[in-house]
Amino acid sequence: MTQSNQTQITLSRPDDWHLHLRDDLALERTVSDTASVFGRAIVMPNLRPPVTSTALALDYKNRIVKNIPANSQFEPLMTLYLTDNTSADEIYRAKESGIVHAVKLYPAGATTNSDAGVTDLKHCYQTLEAMQKIGMHLLVHGEVTAADIDVFDREKVFIDQVLIPLMNDFPELRIVFEHITTSNAAEFVSSASDNIAATITPHHLLLNRNDLLVGGIHPHHYCLPVLKRNTHQQALIKAATSGSKKFFLGTDSAPHPRAGKEASCGCAGIYSAHAAIELYAEAFEAANALDKLESFASFNGPDFYRLPRNEDKITLVKESWDVPETLTFADSSLVPMRAGNQIHWKVVS
Ligand SMILES: NC(=O)N[C@@H](CC(=O)O)C(=O)O
Ligand SMILES: [Zn+2]
Ligand SMILES: [Zn+2]
């Protein structure tokens, strides 16, 4: 059967390898949306204050678990926020805990709540040594922050200025290049050693910078790394649907209250957790590659993290549904991806 008229797809339950759940009142919305479909999620640590220790990660996990719906087996996979002062001992404690699966590098100033991030990776070499030794994954927001670097070039420059030297100094360190947005990153990951992989978001597959800037400025399409030109979008689609084991699902679903997005200096982040796997199904169908969705969404991630694949399955059907203009979020509301429009796949089980 040609895929273009495929009307149903069943796949092993997917996981989200890059997710912002936020905290406290926000958890009711974010945890239930993700937990209704995904088996596990790598929960990003960029809270205020950030999750910089195993103890804080455990407390955070407990707050998340309280919001998991009764009928869901969802498991949050916790991460630590790397700072200049993170000790190797903290890495050993994290590994020992069994609940921390990775450490996240936010270059200071690169994105939301990144001001406590790393100012110079050289400060972290003992910590990185420990991570390499015990196989703790380093997740990177791959952008430089120098003011003289064009925002559209930040990711490309990060490869040469940070990633390549890092991989030379730590050739065994397992790295996830998060939310890649350029052909440069896709090509680099494809050709680099097996210990580096990448996540790709649904918005960087479905949108490009025209969707941010044409016909008016669209604040709900503003995210970091920023949407790039369509040639980069095409390169990401090619990578995601290539069948390569180095690319897997990471929504980077990053909610902000509506007022924070619709502002003269709006927050960066796109909320997709309400319809993430459906949005990926649209992107893979458009590329006539629905047969590649299961590996990208359900196999490549657990395989790279050396975790078991989920055993149960989900089914989506080709059915359009209306996305609300807003969703409740903490004590206010957020504008989800595709708000006020339709999504053309629907999870039925
Ligand atoms: N991606 C975003 O635009 N924002 C994320 C942070 C991040 O992943 O960079 C957030 O936490 O708001
Ligand atoms: Zn990021
Ligand atoms: Zn993120």
Tokens of 289: 């590659």
Nearest ligand 1 atom to alpha carbon 178: 8
344 labeled part of a ligand binding site: no
- For 159-182, b/e burial (b = at least 16 CB within 10 A) is beebbeebbeebeebbbbbbbbbb
Parent domain of 273: 14-309
Q: Is residue 345 part of a domain?
A: no
**Best residue among 82, 201, 252 to mutate for probing ligand 1, ranked by most atoms within 8 Å of CB:** 252
Per-residue pLDDT, 5: 80
Q: Is residue 299 part of a domain?
A: yes
Average pLDDT over residues 78-95: 97
137 labeled part of a ligand binding site: no
Per-residue pLDDT, 4: 57
Residues in the ligand 1 pocket, defined by CB under 6 Å: 20, 46, 111-112, 141, 223-224, 252, 254, 268-269
Query: 271: which residues sit within 8 A by CB, 6+ positions away?
Result: 253, 254, 255, 256, 327, 329, 334, 335, 336, 337
Rounded-to-integer distance, Cα 236 and Cα 238, Å: 5
Tokens of 41: 């999620």
Q: Is residue 45 part of a domain?
A: yes
ipTM above 0.85, yes or no: yes
141 labeled part of a ligand binding site: yes
Q: Is the pLDDT of residue 341 over 60?
A: yes
Whether 296 contacts 249, CB under 8 Å: yes
**Best residue among 46, 145, 220 to mutate for probing ligand 1, ranked by most atoms within 8 Å of CB:** 46
Tally of domains in the chain:
1
Using alpha carbons, select from 251, 266, 248, 222 the residue that is nearest to residue 307: 248
**CATH number of 57's domain:** 3.20.20.140
Task: Specify whether the backbone of 87 is left (phi greater than 0), alpha (psi in -120 to 50) or beta.
Answer: beta
Ligand 1 centre to CA of 222 (Å) is 10
∠ CA 306-36-332, nearest 5°, is 115
Tens digit of each residue's pLDDT (9 = 90 or more) over 122-158: 999 999 999 999 999 999 999 999 999 999 999 999 9
Per-residue pLDDT, 312: 98
Q: Is residue 112 part of a domain?
A: yes
For residue 237, give the DSSP letter: H
Whether 226 contacts 218, CB under 8 Å: no
Average pLDDT over residues 175-200: 98
Q: Is residue 50 part of a domain?
A: yes
Q: List own/partner pairs for 299-303 with CB under 8 A and 24 or more apart.
A: 299/12, 299/245, 300/197, 300/245, 300/246, 300/247, 300/248, 301/15, 301/17, 301/248, 301/249, 301/250, 302/15, 302/40, 303/245
Which amino acid residue places its CA nearest to atom 8 of ligand 1? 252
Q: Is residue 333 part of a domain?
A: no
Q: Is residue 348 part of a domain?
A: no
Task: Tell me which residues are annotated as active site.
Answer: 252
Q: Is the pLDDT of residue 345 over 50?
A: yes
What distances in angstroms separate CA 54 from CA 81, 91, 100, 136, one per listed residue? 10, 8, 7, 13
Dihedral of alpha carbons 158, 164, 170, 175, sign: positive
Per-residue pLDDT, 2: 41
Average pLDDT over residues 64-86: 97
Nearest ligand 1 atom to alpha carbon 222: 3
Q: Is residue 105 part of a domain?
A: yes
Phi, psi for 190 (deg, rounded to 5) = -60, -40
